[in-house]
Amino acid sequence: MSIADIKTAVVPEGAHPFPHGHLTGIDGLQPWEITFLLDEAEQWVDLNRQSSKHDDRLAGLTLINAFFENSTRTLLSFEIAGKRLGADVVNMHAGQSSMKKGETLIDTAATINAMRADMIVIRHPSSGAVALIADKVDCPVLNAGDGWHEHPTQALLDALTIRRRRGHIAKQRVAICGDILHSRVARSNILCLTALGAEVRVIAPPTLMPRAIERLGVTAYTDFDEGIRGADVVMMLRLQNERMNGGFIPSAREFHALYGLTRERLENAEADALIMHPGPMNRGIEIASDVADDIDRSAITEQVEMGVAVRMACLDVLTRERRGTKGWK
């Protein structure tokens, strides 16, 4: 049995379960570190299902959500995660900030740092921007999406969803479909799921398929039906509006005809295949409404639920050192 088959983290002798100061990506995490975060998230799934959803472990700590790119769901998810653990949560929307006045990213980071944040959650439109900030501040930084690079908490919540619904991740055939080229969700999921032993396929029109993607340990398909054949999990990605009209694909309706997930097409996957989507969905474009709303197979709302739990786990684990958690160094 390989380590990736085990449902709870088996930390090798002498290794720390999570030795990282920041969470800037899935890249660089060991399989047991990923599993450790998933294990930690389970308790928060339970708590969040109770009528009183509160824990005080982050009381007195300040969480700043610095979003340099629009977001509703991820921002809300991090805000709820922080509040349920008792942190003081402040949201900064860069659209209204001094970045518009020409301040550099590093100066903005230094400003946030000087206000003594205890955790910073960052979303930024440029790949690598979050790691750049993480280098300059004194507190844990969580990447909530940087350009086309990574969105690690999305990958963790997806992994948790798959683990809970399918029992395990290893050997699962996961098809990630849609705009792979511009997708940080795809990159983080590829790294996370392959690390945990899943068989990952990516399906995209050739114009939205990154070069050398096979080097990340996946199989690439441009034919949708071939790609989802026998899949246990079908993960659809959002197609951004600006890519729909002639730039990368001829039209939204052609995309739906060739790459949209419909009930008919789903026949090619396993009969009990799980349907996932990171949201927000373009109904009728990448996914048909009846498929998205299939209560037996769609895990889309469950993904949102797992998102809060996973983010609570990340905030807890990353602040353990500064909170002086017993036995944690």
184 is in an annotated binding site: yes
Q: Which of 33, 40, 79, 150 binds another protein (CB under 8 A)?
A: 150
E strands in the chain = 62-67, 88-93, 119-124, 141-146, 173-177, 199-203, 219-221, 233-236, 274-276
Give the DSSP H/E element, type plus range, for residue 191: helix 184-195
Q: Own/partner pairs for 288-291, CB < 8 Å, 24+ apart?
A: 288/260, 288/261, 288/262, 288/263, 290/263, 291/261, 291/262, 291/263, 291/266
Query: The tokens of 46 are what?
Result: 């339970």
Query: Footprint of another protein on residues 111-140 (CB under 8 A)?
Result: 124, 126-129, 131-132
Query: What are the angstrom distances between the C-alpha of 27 and each of 78, 91, 180, 254?
Result: 21, 27, 17, 34
Query: Footprint of another protein on residues 78-97 (CB under 8 A)?
Result: none
Cβ closer to another protein: 107 or 223?
Answer: 107
Contact between 258 and another protein by CB under 8 A: the answer reads no
Among the listed ranges 148-156, 247-255, 281-289, 298-306, the one in contact with another protein (CB under 8 A) is 148-156
123 is in an annotated binding site: yes
Query: Footprint of another protein on residues 160-219 (CB under 8 A)?
Result: 184, 187, 210-213, 215-216
Site string for another protein, 293-322 (x = CB under 8 A): ------------------------------
20 is in an annotated binding site: no
101 is in an annotated binding site: yes
Cβ of residue 256: shortest distance to another protein, in angstroms? 26
Among the listed ranges 144-152, 166-174, 302-310, 317-325, the one in contact with another protein (CB under 8 A) is 144-152
Specify whether the CB–CB gap between 91 and 114 falls below 8 A: no
215 is in an annotated binding site: no
Rg (CA), the chain: 19
Cβ of residue 155: shortest distance to another protein, in angstroms? 14
Which residue's structure tokens are 């949209």?
260
Can you say which residues are annotated as belonging to the binding site for L-aspartate? Answer: 101, 184, 238
